[in-house]
């Protein structure tokens, strides 16, 4: 349980970090280290050099932009959990954060680290996928951005290339007033890896009609999935049509099978958790009375 030797560098700027990354194929980025350090300890990863980006000022902070909240890659999960902007504008992220690891790992683990790691059962990638976030990347030759849909490819596999580093995550903010979120997951212990996780967000108009709806599944397939719920838009939410839309979306779900949960079990639980998450999101939105409605 001791890592193999490596060089450690802590660059002073993002440009310097990108320069270092570009020039060394055996270099890995470290931020909070909550996944990388165990992998080093078990020698599943043996980089020659670690580039510590945790204290880079360019990667810190949470800021609002028109229609979006931009979360810097090195924002600690614990910090995001307490952040008033995230709570108000990206409520789905605020709802799942208490389920990410334990308090001590959230104090070190970063939002960008969880994205770059791309664990198919992780909650933060699930939110990024469900809401259609953009992953903003930095490299020596400039900054780019790509939708979560293209970023997550497979289990712990992302489109990030050697020499690139996650800079920030751009979460879209829904313009509606009555927004509700729902989240459920099944795991062997609270905060352990989810076998199945479902996250939902619904916006309602003053008469309770569904203005926008997003539903995502984690832990089931080899990457987080966004399910098409567009058939529920424009009408009042009802359990029967929600169940129908979920069944249609989950019809040809390719579920993973492992020691803990079979594909059949995952598929069954996925349907149930999707229904519960949508219901919770709806109830959560419906409880928010719009101005003047009283």
Partner 1 sequence: MKVELRINGVSRTADIEPRKTLLDALRENFLLNGAHAGCEHGVCGACTVLVDGEPVRSCLMFAVQADGYEITTIEGLAPAPGELSVIQDAFCETHGLQCGYCTPGMILSAHALLQRNVTPTREDIVEAISGNICRCTGYGQIVEAVQFAAERLRLANTPRPAGPAGKSVAEAK
Which is nearer to partner 1, 35 or 201 (by Cβ)?
35
Q: Contacts with partner 1 in 195-254 (CB under 8 A)? A: none
Q: Contacts with partner 1 in 160-199 (CB under 8 A)? A: 190-191
Q: Residue 174 CB, nearest distance to partner 1 (Å)?
A: 29
Stretch that binds partner 1, among 67-75, 102-110, 164-172, 235-243 (CB under 8 A): 102-110
DSSP-assigned beta bridge partners for residue 238: none
Residue 2 makes contact with partner 1 by CB under 8 A: yes
Residue 38 makes contact with partner 1 by CB under 8 A: yes
Which is nearer to partner 1, 98 or 147 (by Cβ)?
98
Tell me which of 91, 101, 163, 180 binds partner 1, using CB under 8 A: 101
Residue 40 makes contact with partner 1 by CB under 8 A: yes
Q: What angle do CA 211, 212, 216 make, to 5 degrees?
A: 155
Count of CB atoms situated within 10 Å of the CB of 257:
11
DSSP-derived 3-state class of residue 64: strand
Select from 204, 206, 205, 224 the least CA-distant residue to 215.
Answer: 224
Stretch that binds partner 1, among 50-58, 197-205, 214-222, 228-236 (CB under 8 A): 50-58
Tell me which of 15, 67, 102, 141 binds partner 1, using CB under 8 A: 102
Residue 1 makes contact with partner 1 by CB under 8 A: yes
The mark string for 259-288 relative to partner 1 (x by CB under 8 A, - otherwise) is ------------------------------
Residues that bind partner 1 (CB under 8 A): 1-8, 30, 33-34, 37-38, 40-42, 50, 52, 54, 78, 98, 101-105, 107-108, 190-191
């Amino acid at each position: 349980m001791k890592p193999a030797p490596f060089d450690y560098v802590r660059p002073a700027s993002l440009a310097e970090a990108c320069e270092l990354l570009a020039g060394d194929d055996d270099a890995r980025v470290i931020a909070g280290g909550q996944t990388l350090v165990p992998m080093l300890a078990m020698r599943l990863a043996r980089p020659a050099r670690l580039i510590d980006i945790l204290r880079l000022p360019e990667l810190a902070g949470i800021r609002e932009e028109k229609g979006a909240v931009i979360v810097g890659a090195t924002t600690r999960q614990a910090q995001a959990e307490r952040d008033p902007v995230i709570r108000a504008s990206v409520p789905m992220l605020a709802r799942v954060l208490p389920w990410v690891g334990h308090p001590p790992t959230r104090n070190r683990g970063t939002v960008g680290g969880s994205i770059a790691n791309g664990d198919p059962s992780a909650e933060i990638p699930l939110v990024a996928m469900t809401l259609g976030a953009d992953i903003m990347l930095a490299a020596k030759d400039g900054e780019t951005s790509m939708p979560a849909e293209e970023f997550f490819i497979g289990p712990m596999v992302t489109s990030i290339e050697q020499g690139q580093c996650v800079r920030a995550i751009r979460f879209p903010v829904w313009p509606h007033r009555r927004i509700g979120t729902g989240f459920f997951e099944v795991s062997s212990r609270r905060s352990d890896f989810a076998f199945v996780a479902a996250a939902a967000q619904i916006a309602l108009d003053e008469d309770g009609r569904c203005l926008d709806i997003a539903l995502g599944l984690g832990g089931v397939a080899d990457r987080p999935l966004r399910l098409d719920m567009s058939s529920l838009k424009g009408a009042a939410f009802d359990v029967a049509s929600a169940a129908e839309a979920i069944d249609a979306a989950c019809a040809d779900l390719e579920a993973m099978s492992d020691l803990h949960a079979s594909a059949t079990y995952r598929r069954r639980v996925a349907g149930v958790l999707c229904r519960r998450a949508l219901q919770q999101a709806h109830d959560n939105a419906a409880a928010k009375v719009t101005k003047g409605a009283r």
